[in-house]
Amino acid sequence: MTATLSPSDIAKRASALRAAEMVEDGMKVGLGTGSTAAFLVRRLGERVRGEGLRIAAVPTSSGTAALARAEGIAVVTLDEAGWLDLTIDGADEVDGQLSLIKGGGGALLWEKVVATASDRVVIIADEGKRVAALGRFPLPVEVIPFGLRATMRLIGEALVGLDVEGRDMALRKAGDAPFVTDEGNRIVDLRLGRIGDPRRLGLELNRIPGVVENGLFTDIADTLVLGAADGSARVVDIAQGRFPFAGQDNVFGEVLG
């Protein structure tokens, strides 16, 4: 199978396969959205069919739910699950503090709700997603349709006082129409270049009326699985808890540098 994949897809698949080993029988598991997460779902489907693995899965999008059901995985709602043992999801960018940008697939709201309702959050990604500072990838912000122009103006005003390089934004489209999330909302993509303080930016964005959630995931990820183009994967596990590092000298940088 790997012979038909691009180097990037080989790396994504490697990270997904390694993370799939962390899923144990009887677990309640959050399943992420995106191309890397799709490799995970397919591998878990193989384990369900081949090993008799029993899990209750909470998908983070309607697309992931459809794929999980097609793979024979039992799908439940988060309310039915109550709380999750583990969530495995991808990322569009990850920095040395395990802060993330997510939402390239438009599922950031469900992804953040599911992740924060989990005992452990594992992020799967290829090496290309690792960055020194977040912001090169456009930051998605989910907003309600009502008052969309006013909300975008307020977002622009908030960015003026924050540590970012750029302040361009655009309403995400699906063809000629606005992209619509699973909750019926819209996505505004912010092209910031560099985000100096992800935590503060996330808090300030969520204070704006009309903003539902943003794609900055800080203090959420516990473990990172990075896949490489040679099919290998390495795990960085933050055993001390979420966001344990302050300053430039941190174990994460030493392990991945």
3-state secondary structure 113-182: HHHHCECCEEEEEEHHHECCCCCCCCEEEEECCCCHHHHHHHHHHHHHCCCECCCEEEECEECCEECCCC
Q: Is residue 92 a known part of a binding site?
A: yes
Q: Is residue 210 a known part of a binding site?
A: no
Q: Is residue 129 a known part of a binding site?
A: yes
183 is annotated as an active-site residue = no
Q: Is residue 35 a known part of a binding site?
A: yes
Q: Is residue 105 a known part of a binding site?
A: yes
Catalytic residue among 111, 165, 183, 213: 111
Q: Is residue 135 a known part of a binding site?
A: no
Q: Is residue 95 a known part of a binding site?
A: no
Q: Is residue 91 a known part of a binding site?
A: yes
Taking the C-alpha atoms of residue 204 and residue 206, their distance in angstroms, rounded to an integer, is 5
Q: Is residue 104 a known part of a binding site?
A: yes
Q: Is residue 102 a known part of a binding site?
A: yes
Taking the C-alpha atoms of residue 29 and residue 88, their distance in angstroms, rounded to an integer, is 8
Q: Is residue 184 a known part of a binding site?
A: no
Q: Which residues does the annotation place in the binding site?
A: 33-36, 89-92, 102-105, 129
Active site residues: 111
Binding residue positions for substrate? 33-36, 89-92, 102-105, 129
